Amino acid sequence: MEYQQGTLAGYEVREYLLAKWGRTCAYCGRTGVPLNIDHIHPRSRGGSDRVSNLVLACIPCNQSKNATPIEEFLKAKPALLAKILRQAKAPLRDAAAVNATRWALWRALTATSLPVTTSSGGRTKWNRSRTSAAKSHTLDALHVGRLDAVTGWPSIVLVAKATGRGTYCRTRTDKYGFPRLQLPRIKTVRGFQTGDLVRANVPTGTKAGVHTGRVAIRTTGSFNITTRHGTVQGIGHRHVRLLQRADGYGYATHSETRVRVAFPPPPEGGGIHSGGP
């Protein structure tokens, strides 16, 4: 009921319909155009507001269908009519899977006796529309749940990416599955391990410059460094300094989209909270 009538009215249903109908007009299949919510059985003829009676339609289709019963509107396209009626009744399969999973997760979390609150993707989007924040993973995280105000966000975010700690397999195979080369048994060369975060300061030569990133070791002592700009090959170990030991993650910084935020004035005792502890 809250979704249908509360402050989020329209947001949840719209997001659901966009996913269910693949962001295309149900009647003509056009995509990338503004889409209206259309009642399969017109409201004026007693059609309900339930999501099973809603599709997305481009503005021309929405207007030309108007209050026409769908059977009449699609009289010339019986296959399409059948498809729409079938799909309208079908629940969103992914949503059904998420539904089942999230309640299991919720039950497990509440069993810890820590305070647990829940929210929805529709509310996240609604919050973002109030602060006019761009869509990104980090800004989505900031906009989850009940939100009084956002006073700003960092321009740089830290991105941690799981890279693993290498492989036990000591051979590489060719396309027929035969061993192609032998990898060394040792994991360290000159004190470095593949995956270490390093900075190389190369004074001269074609590789001259400062290179910061993940190192890939070679027994020759000539290393490769993957920086944010690409991979630099053949860096002598003498130029390389360790910044951080490999821990199975790669770290990088990305710039966050900077959008001015002036909404709304923080309420008394305001600030950011996203529910939960």
Residues binding Zn ion (CB under 5 A): 25, 27-28, 30, 58, 61
DSSP for 228-251 reads TTEEEEEEEGGGEEEEE---SEEE
Nearer to Zn ion, 11 or 27 (CB): 27
Nearer to Zn ion, 30 or 41 (CB): 30
Nearer to Zn ion, 25 or 88 (CB): 25
Distances (CA, A) of 260 to 124, 126, 151, 263: 18, 17, 9, 9
Shortest Å, Cβ 172 to Zn ion: 52
Nearer to Zn ion, 84 or 215 (CB): 84
CA dihedral of 120, 123, 125, 128, whole degrees rounded to 10: -130
Shortest Å, Cβ 82 to Zn ion: 18
Nearer to Zn ion, 13 or 35 (CB): 35
Shortest Å, Cβ 72 to Zn ion: 17
d(CA 211, CA 192): 16
Shortest Å, Cβ 50 to Zn ion: 22
Spell out where 76-202 has E strands.
156-162, 171-173, 179-182, 188-189, 192-193, 197-202
Shortest Å, Cβ 61 to Zn ion: 3
Nearer to Zn ion, 61 or 147 (CB): 61
* Residue 223: exposure state from Cβ atoms within 10 A (0-12, 13-18, ≥19): buried
SS3 178: coil
Helix count and strand count (H, E) for the chain: 8, 13
SS3 202: strand
d(CA 101, CA 95): 10
Shortest Å, Cβ 256 to Zn ion: 37
Nearer to Zn ion, 61 or 88 (CB): 61
Sign of CA dihedral 59, 60, 64, 65: negative
Shortest Å, Cβ 208 to Zn ion: 59
CA 170 to chain centre: 35
